[in-house]
Amino acid sequence: MDPILDIAAYKFVALDDLPTLRERLLADAAAAHIKGTILLAAEGINLVLAGVPEDVEQFLGKLRTDGRFADLEVKRSRSATVPFKRMRVRIKREIIRMNHPTIAPASGRAAAVDALTLKRWLDAGRDDAGRPVLMLDTRNRFEIEVGRFHNALDLGLGRFSEFPDAVERVRERLAGHTVVAYCTGGIRCEKASLYLDELGVPNHWQLDGGILKYFELVGGAHFDGHCTVFDERAALDAELQPAG
């Protein structure tokens, strides 16, 4: 097994002490000798980190002593080397930018489907109610070129903030389907699915944990290609290994 543990996690939760929290996390990361990026905003936290497994787990343990992050769910993979050059903690307006203030995942999330259920639906070609399943890719076009679910709907996004306008243009194509929105690790789908709620789109779900959790639990069934990640590994295969 490769010696480095890579983790990705996010949580939408109200944060009001961002400068203080930033300094604390920088100090904790330095003490744990890990590298990566943490984004903080009033709406929550998003992180991708790597290091020796014991060091990463030490940092996570310390982070979870803060009640706001006690139930933080983490996606894990391994690599031969640390895929980051430094440690950064940045304060942002949004941890994932949509520019749509009415969308607030910290106030409640849209319905989610787990990886095992989705695979069963895709195996059958329909959901449990008999509706055909349409995979809706919420990622940018360059990510989709590397890999996507078979026959997924590509909105042609250059950036995620284009999602609201783009999905409204294809709204008629969603009719009659069970729509499953997906992204890399789940964070974009949190906002995308709430926007589908706002539009009044029926029968839609978000893929819980995104492609990375799907790979972890299911493998590459119904997925063509690799999953883009935003570190030096560039893309992962269905076994969560750097794609060659």
Give catalytic residue positions.
183
Which residues, 6+ apart, have CB-to-CB distance to 172 below 8 Å? none
* Alpha-carbon dihedral sign for residues 124, 128, 131, 134: negative
Residue 220 φ/ψ, nearest 5 degrees:
-100, 15
Nearest to 6 by CA among 236, 243, 244, 238: 236
**CB distance 69 to 75 below 8 Å:** no
* CA gap 207, 216 in Å, rounded: 13
Residue type, 47: L
